[in-house]
Structures are given as C-alpha cells and as structure tokens.
C-alpha cells in the first residue's frame, strides 16, 4: 500500500503562514494600486489645471493688451474693452467672464522700478485678472479624478498687465516759442492736470514757466524747453523737466470754417431765454440772459463773445469760431459747452471739428479771459493759437484741454484739466507683467 503523507504541526503552520502572506500581498497590491490611481488622478487633474491656467492667462493677456490701447485715448471704454476681449477666449470649455469693475484696474506702470500702481494722473497701464473661482462667475474648475477623494474643484487665477510708454499728448500746451512766463500760476489757485502732461514750448532761459504765490500744481509732468521758476510758497507735485524740445501745434492743420453770410450782432437780454442757430454773428455775441445754441458751427466776429455774470450758456454739439474780438466769460456764469461729436451730430463739419469747443482764428491775437466760479461744464479743446488765455478761478472747475500762445492762472479756486488723447509717439501696448 502507498505510504500516506505525514502531516506534522510544522508543515501545517508553514502552509498557514504562506496563505497569510499571500493574503497580505493582495492587500498591499490593492493599496499600491489605489495610491497609483491617486497619483495618476492627481497628475491628470494637475495637468488639467495647468491647461485651464494657460487658457486664463491667454485671456488675461489679450484683454490687458486691448484695454491698454485705450487707456489714454478712450479711458471710459477700457473696462468694456477688457471684458469683450476676455470673452473671446475660452477656459475649461466656457467663455472667460470677468467683472469689469473688480477685475480691471487702470493704473501707472513705472518702467524704472517695474512696479504697477493704481490710478495716477496720466495712467499708462491696465491690469486684468481672469479667474475660475468658487462663487465667482462660472465657478471653480471641476476636477476629473479628485472627487473620488472628496475634492470636487480647484480655483485658478491669472493676471496680466499691459502698458504703453511715452508721456501722452499734453493736456495743457503753451505754444509761444520764447516769452518769459509763457505759463504763469499765481495767487492761491489749485491746478490739477490729468490725462497728459503740461508742456511749455518757450525756450526762455529766465523762466519759461513761473509758479508763485501759494499756488498748487498737480500733474504727471511739467515739460518745457526753458527754465521753470518755482517760488518757495508754491507746491508742485509733478516731474519738472527742462530742455524738452518744443512740440508742434497738434491743430496746426485745422482749417478755418466757412464764414457764411453775416447775421450781424446778437445780444441776449437779461431775463431772456433765446435759442440761436449756427451762423456768422459778424457783430459779436453778448449773453446777459440764457442763450441756448443749437448744434453747429458759430462764427463770431465784431467784439467777440461776451458772457456776463449771472447769465447762462447751453450748447451741445457746438464749435465757436472767434473770428475777431476776444472771449470774455465773467464769474457766476452757468455754462454747458460740449463740442461736436460726429457719432451724435450729423451737421457738416462735425467730423472736421470733432472735440473742438472754441477755436480762435490764427489772425486774432485778442486776449481771452475766463473767470470760473459758477456751474461749469466745459469739455473738449479750447484753442487760442496766437492769443493769451487768462483763467481766474474762485471755486469753479473747467474740465477742458487748453492750447494757447500763453496761459495764466490766477485766483483762489480749483481749475481742473482732464484730457485723454492719442500720441503718435506712444508705443503700442506691451505686456509688462
């Protein structure tokens, strides 16, 4: 008979240990597989997050570049432009949405320090943030594998800053090539200039710019060919640069408007409300009551334009061409003077004189006098190529670009120049951060 195997206690124990080790291997394999799946999922979700981050970065770059191109010429459209260009991109299969108020910052980029700061008197940069965050817009980025481990989504945020270089078109330009004190600030006037620098063409070595008294100037820069003389009591919060080459008159090619048949002179009497149409007021225009000007071009001759204290002028879509005489605006006047806008006004010449509120003839050297203390809504450009302009402020504000042969600011009130224009010497926008 065949011999039966002998089962000892030792062989049974070995077999049990072997089976136990085999069971542990299965457990360890399961654990390792779970860990490997976790790492694979982490890599997959991380890669997806990187992809979405790149998509958001592309959207931020495009929005910042497009918006920076408008930061000087059309600042009111910067935020909408950024939102529009961000929306042309996709991230995680959805159009990129940004909050124009919270995610678009208009500011100033300092090329020397490579720093971006909010606001500034002559902003040159735009910072745009694109985001996929929980509770914002389209929410956080949904993950693919991580939900198995209790993580459903991931926040991704990207930022881009684009800027232009150059100082911008001057918001205040003094054209006289040589006069002493071609630009003068005296008294306790407070001049704030935004959107562009102050530029003085005068090459006078004995004070081309004279700032005295307790006057205060806030601007991005004061650029002049000649010397700037600042008295001890004056405060200048601006870069002061001398030896800067003079600028050509940016409106030198602006044509004189057609004169038309003479209509004589017109006086709007005290207490009267008179509506006027465009034409050649060859005898001058005097306002003692309330003059309402319909859109168009007004040629004013004779003794020029006189607006007396206590009167009012309402003009939308109007350019005043001062053929002869001066401009004399007294204090305590309510003025609303908005220049032609071809997108709104369709009359002949609206495109040629877009943005020009007052144009004094180049042959007319009569001094213009503005006394600003009433309700003032003056926008556009005020152009006196061969004449001096004196501005006296006693509490009012004038939000217009000024170009004159000479400029003098006096009084004790605030004068505000707010202009945003293109500059052919500005660089195209570039990404700086």
pLDDT per residue of the chain (433 residues) written in tens, 0 to 9:
555 555 555 666 666 555 666 556 555 555 655 565 555 556 666 677 788 889 889 999 999 999 988 887 677 889 999 999 999 998 878 888 889 999 999 988 888 788 999 887 778 899 999 998 887 777 777 766 666 666 666 788 899 999 887 666 788 999 999 999 999 998 888 888 887 889 999 999 899 999 998 888 988 889 999 999 998 889 998 888 899 999 999 899 999 999 999 999 999 999 999 999 999 999 999 999 999 999 999 999 999 999 999 999 999 999 999 999 999 998 888 888 999 999 899 899 999 999 999 999 999 999 999 887 755 667 889 999 999 999 887 765 656 789 999 999 888 877 888 776 654 445 678 899 8
What region, left, alpha or beta, does residue 302 occupy, with left being phi > 0 and alpha being psi -120 to 50 degrees? Answer: left
How much is the pLDDT for 400? 78
CA angle 121, 343, 162 (to 5 degrees): 35
Report the DSSP pairing between strands 125-132 and 156-163.
antiparallel
The one-character DSSP state at 76 is G
Separation CA 198–CA 432 (nearest Å): 26
Look at the block and give the residue holding tokens 């136990």: 20
pTM of the model: 0.72
Helices (H) and strands (E) in the chain, counts: 3, 34
What region, left, alpha or beta, does residue 400 occupy, with left being phi > 0 and alpha being psi -120 to 50 degrees? Answer: beta
The one-character DSSP state at 77 is G
Separation CA 390–CA 407 (nearest Å): 6
Separation CA 271–CA 311 (nearest Å): 9
What stretches of 345-398 show up as alpha helix (H) in DSSP?
Answer: none
CA angle 257, 304, 186 (to 5 degrees): 110
Separation CA 320–CA 52 (nearest Å): 55
Separation CA 25–CA 265 (nearest Å): 109
Answer for the pair 387, 364: CB distance below 8 angstroms, yes or no: yes
Torsion sign across C-alpha atoms 77, 82, 88, 94: negative
| DSSP letter string, 5-27 | PP--HHHHHHHHHHHHHHHHHHH
How much is the pLDDT for 424? 44
CA angle 173, 229, 370 (to 5 degrees): 45
SS3 state at 193: strand
- Determine which helix (DSSP H) or strand (DSSP E) holds 191, and give its type and residue range: strand 190-194
Structure confidence by residue, pLDDT tens digits, 288-340? 999 999 999 999 999 999 999 999 999 999 999 999 999 999 888 888 899 99
Domain coordinates in residue numbering, the chain = 11-164, 172-418
What region, left, alpha or beta, does residue 307 occupy, with left being phi > 0 and alpha being psi -120 to 50 degrees? Answer: beta
Answer for the pair 362, 340: CB distance below 8 angstroms, yes or no: no
Counting Cβ atoms within 10 Å, is residue 3 exposed (0-12), middle (13-18) or buried (19+)? exposed
């Amino acid at each position: 008979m065949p011999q039966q195997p002998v089962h000892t206690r030792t062989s049974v124990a070995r077999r049990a240990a072997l089976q136990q080790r085999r069971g542990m291997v299965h457990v360890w394999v399961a654990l390792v597989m779970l860990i490997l799946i976790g790492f694979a999922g982490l890599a997959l979700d991380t890669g997806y997050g990187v992809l979405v981050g790149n998509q958001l970065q592309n959207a931020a770059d495009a929005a910042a570049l497009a918006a920076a191109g408008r930061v000087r010429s059309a600042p009111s459209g910067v935020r909408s432009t950024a939102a529009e260009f961000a929306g042309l991109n996709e991230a995680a299969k959805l159009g990129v949405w940004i909050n124009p108020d919270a995610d678009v910052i208009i500011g100033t980029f300092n090329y020397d320090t490579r720093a971006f700061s909010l606001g500034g008197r002559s902003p040159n940069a735009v910072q745009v943030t694109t985001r996929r965050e929980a509770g914002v817009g389209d929410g956080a980025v949904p993950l693919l594998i991580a939900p198995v481990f209790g993580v459903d989504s991931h926040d991704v945020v990207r930022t881009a800053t684009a800027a232009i270089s150059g100082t911008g078109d001057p918001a205040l330009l003094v054209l006289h090539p040589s006069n002493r004190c071609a630009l003068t600030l005296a008294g306790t006037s407070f001049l704030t200039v935004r959107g562009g620098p102050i530029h003085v063409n005068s090459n006078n070595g004995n004070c081309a710019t004279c700032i005295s008294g307790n006057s205060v100037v806030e601007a991005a820069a004061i650029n002049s060919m000649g010397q700037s003389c600042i008295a001890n009591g004056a405060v200048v919060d601006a870069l002061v640069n001398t030896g800067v080459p003079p600028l050509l008159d940016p409106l030198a090619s602006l044509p004189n408007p057609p004169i038309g048949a003479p209509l004589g002179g017109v006086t709007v009497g005290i207490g009267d409300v008179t509506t006027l149409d465009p034409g050649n007021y060859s005898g001058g225009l005097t306002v003692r009551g309330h003059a309402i000007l319909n859109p168009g071009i007004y040629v004013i001759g004779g003794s020029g334009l006189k607006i007396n204290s206590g009167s009012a002028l309402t003009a939308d879509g109007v350019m005043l061409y001062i053929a002869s005489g001066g401009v004399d605006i007294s204090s305590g006047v309510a003025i609303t003077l908005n220049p032609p806008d071809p997108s709104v006004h369709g009359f002949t010449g609206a495109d040629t004189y877009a943005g020009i509120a007052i144009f004094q003839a180049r042959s007319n050297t009569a001094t213009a006098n503005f006394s600003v203390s009433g309700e003032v809504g003056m926008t556009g450009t005020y152009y006196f190529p061969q004449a001096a302009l004196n501005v006296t402020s006693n509490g009012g504000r004038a939000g217009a670009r000024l170009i004159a042969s000479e400029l003098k600011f006096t009084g004790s009130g605030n004068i505000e120049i707010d202009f945003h224009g293109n500059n052919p010497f500005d660089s195209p926008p570039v990404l700086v951060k």
